[in-house]
Every structure is written in structure tokens, then in C-alpha cells.
Amino acid sequence: MARTSGPETRDRLIRAAEELFAAQGVHGAQLRDIVSRAGQANPSAVQYHFGSRAGLLDAVMAGRQARTESVLAPLLTAAPDETHALVGALVTAEASELRTDRGRRCLRISAQLSHESGVRARTPHPTLAGTGYWRLIERIADRLAADGLPEPLLLERLDLALTVVGAAMADRARQYLDGTEPLTGEGLFLADLVETTTALLRAAQPEQAHLPRKDPS
């Protein structure tokens, strides 16, 4: 087996983690299985290279983010400050990960972490700070605010919209990995995802009188 040192070993561990985190879950996959899948003899290889499971997961997501950012950058430059266009940029960038098995696995991992982005607190997760992805989120939030949506409601909607996009992409990725025939072609799937997500974000505000009353108890 290879020694647990060097960039090559680090990359092997990341790729093994991508496979097992996608298949077994980020909390279900065992580090010893990741080490074994990477062909390493030292059971502490993950701790040596990444410090912890969380450090390994951050490394997996950093690679995925770097790939997506390269696609997103020109889309952000070209997109006007309009909800439909911004959602289209998001979906197009995320869909670039559907091209490879590696990207598909990472989409399945990302969907498990959708509520850790920091959107609800408007404070990015450290791996998203300063990224084009976070700037896109801020632009969508600003657009919704300009349209009159109150901050708490727009943050909840934005978090839900990102969850919907992530879950849809993860399920499409699963179908590709499993060899399952999707119900629709990819072009229609992506176009419908843009329309559905935009409609969610643009939905009319509920009237206060129609909101459920709090339980007085």
C-alpha cells in the first residue's frame, strides 16, 4: 500500500471520501473505509492529512466549489440583477457537475449540507466566504428585498430555494450514477428547475390575516 504522505495520497483520500460520502452519507461513511478505499495502510491517514472528518469534508467541498466557481464567474458577470437570470446562472453552474461521475457524487454530498450554507443568518460558511456562489446568493437576496419581501421571509425562501435546487441536482446525479432513465431530458429538467425555483422566490407574500395563529400555550 502507498504511504500516507504527499499530494497524491491526499488526492486519493479525497476521491475515496467523495465515493463513500455520496453513497453512505457524510456521517454514515466510516473513516477506516475511506482510508482502505484510498489504498492506505495507516488508519490515521485522514487525521494526518486533514485533521478530522470535518477537514476531509471541507477539502471535498473545496474541490467541488472550485470547479463550480470557474463556470459561475462569467455567468455572474453577464447576468442582470433579475431573479430569473440569477437563478438561471445558479442552475447552470450547478449542472456543470452533472458532466462527470466525480461531480455527480459531489452533488449528492452537497445536498446533505444545504442548510449549512449560512443563508438564514446571512453569514457564509467559511468555505463559501468570498466566493462567486455567495455573491450570487447576496444578489438574489438584494433583488427579493428590492421587490418588497421582508428579510426573514426572503431568507427562508432563499434557503428553501437552494435546498430545492440541491435536492433536484442530487437526485438527477443519482439517476445518472445508477443508470436510471430520467423522466425528462436534461434540457427540460434544467429549464423547469429554473422556472420552479424562480416561481418559489417570486411568490406573493401571504396576507398576515391568513397566517396560522400562534398557539397561546
Is residue 25 pLDDT above 60, yes or no? yes
Share of the chain above pLDDT 70, in %: 93
Question: Residue 208 has what pLDDT?
Answer: 67
Cα-Cα end-to-end distance for the chain: 63
pTM: 0.87
Question: Residue 7 has what pLDDT?
Answer: 85
Question: Residue 71 has what pLDDT?
Answer: 96
Please check whether residues 26 and 116 belong to one and the same domain: no
Of 1-15, 32-46, 93-107, 172-186, the range with the lowest mean pLDDT is 1-15
Please check whether residues 96 and 132 belong to one and the same domain: yes
Please check whether residues 69 and 175 belong to one and the same domain: yes
Looking at 51, 73, 88, the residue that finishes a domain is 51
Question: Residue 215 has what pLDDT?
Answer: 57
Please check whether residues 102 and 129 belong to one and the same domain: yes
Please check whether residues 31 and 102 belong to one and the same domain: no
* Per-residue pLDDT reduced to its tens digit, 54-77: 999 999 999 999 999 999 999 999
Please check whether residues 185 and 109 belong to one and the same domain: yes
Q: Which 8-state DSSP code applies to residue 10?
A: H
Grid-cell match 428553501, residue found: 160
Asked whether residue 101 is assigned to any structural domain, the reply reads yes
Count of the separate structural domains present in the chain: 2
Whether residue 76 contacts residue 137, with contact meaning beta carbons closer than 8 Å, is answered with: no
Is residue 217 pLDDT above 70, yes or no? no
Please check whether residues 82 and 115 belong to one and the same domain: yes
Please check whether residues 74 and 42 belong to one and the same domain: no
Asked whether residue 174 is assigned to any structural domain, the reply reads yes
Please check whether residues 143 and 43 belong to one and the same domain: no
Strand partners, 2: 40
Alpha carbon distances (Å) from 215 to 30, 38, 152, 162, 212: 43, 53, 20, 30, 9
Please check whether residues 66 and 43 belong to one and the same domain: no
* Per-residue pLDDT reduced to its tens digit, 129-162: 899 999 999 999 999 999 999 999 999 999 999 9
**Domain that residue 157 falls in:** 61-204
